[in-house]
Amino acid sequence: GADETICDTDSVQLNATGAVTYVWTPITDLSDPNIADPFASPSTTTMYYVTGTDGNGCVNIDSMTVNVNSLPTVTVSNDTTVCLGDSAQLNASGGTIYSWTPTTGLSDPNIADPMASPAGNTTYTVHVIDAAGCEDSATVTVSTFALPVVVAGPDTAICENECVNLLATGALTYVWDPITGLSDPNIANPQACPTTTTQYIVTGTDANTCTNTDTVDVVINALPPVEAGADE
């Protein structure tokens, strides 16, 4: 038969004709060296010789080569951890065609460097095919940190010219917005003295640098229109 080319770890079926019995050498990586059409799975390029014997006991020899292309050397980015809702850029190299699985959370599963935004811990596998059509794969895990449960406290109502102490919980550091009327926008419990009804947004950051937000409304009640006059 004609010479064949395969990728490492693949196999090819040989096929000899013209005789009654056959013996293939070398026997390494052959499914059966004593049949006409064994499967060959060599790890390196190998020339196989087949000796055929006909019904008269006459023999002849032919040969064919199985060329073996090595698999692509696949490299991927390191395992990483992101905050839930954030993205990590994956990166693979070593081939010309890329296919990532699972596709969930990927910006494009058919490029070398998609953005991954998984909803939980996910191990992605990239299948890489090189110019010779040989394929190999590698994996990278994207883990996720849960977001902090930030609570800004209950809505509250105050009278004009009064103040109220806000109190945020659930994180390590806090930033309040807007800063108007606040004693310190960068603490958990600033004093708020707004002049009009205001919704304050607090962004809390935890030890993993993950952030979340919550809001609290400070409602301003107008003072009653009290009038004083002299008795008559």
| One-letter-per-residue 3-state SS of the chain | CCCEEEECCCCEECCCCCCCEEEEECCCCECCCCCCCCEECCCCCEEEEEEEECCCCCEEEEEEEEEEECCCCCEECCCEEEECCCCEECCEECCCEEEEECCCCECCCCCCCCEECCCCCEEEEEEEECCCCCEEEEEEEEEEECCCCCECCCCEEEECCCCEECCCECCCEEEEECCCCECCCCCCCCEECCCCCEEEEEEEECCCCCEEEEEEEEEEECCCCCCCCCCC
pLDDT at position 52 is 98
pLDDT at position 225 is 82
Q: What is the pLDDT of residues 203-224, one digit of tens each?
A: 999 999 999 999 999 999 988 8
Q: Provide mean pLDDT across the span 159-165.
A: 95
Looking at per-residue pLDDT, the higher value among 228 and 75 belongs to 75
- Whether residue 53 is predicted with pLDDT greater than 70 in this model: the reply is yes
pLDDT at position 232 is 64
Q: Enter the pTM of the model.
A: 0.80
pLDDT over 90, % of the chain:
95
Q: How confident is the model at residue 90 (pLDDT cuts 50, 70, 90)?
A: very high
Q: What is the pLDDT of residues 95-153, one digit of tens each?
A: 999 999 999 999 999 999 999 999 999 999 999 999 999 999 999 999 999 999 999 99
pLDDT at position 226 is 75
Q: Provide mean pLDDT across the span 42-59.
A: 97
Q: How confident is the model at residue 92 (pLDDT cuts 50, 70, 90)?
A: very high
pLDDT at position 63 is 97
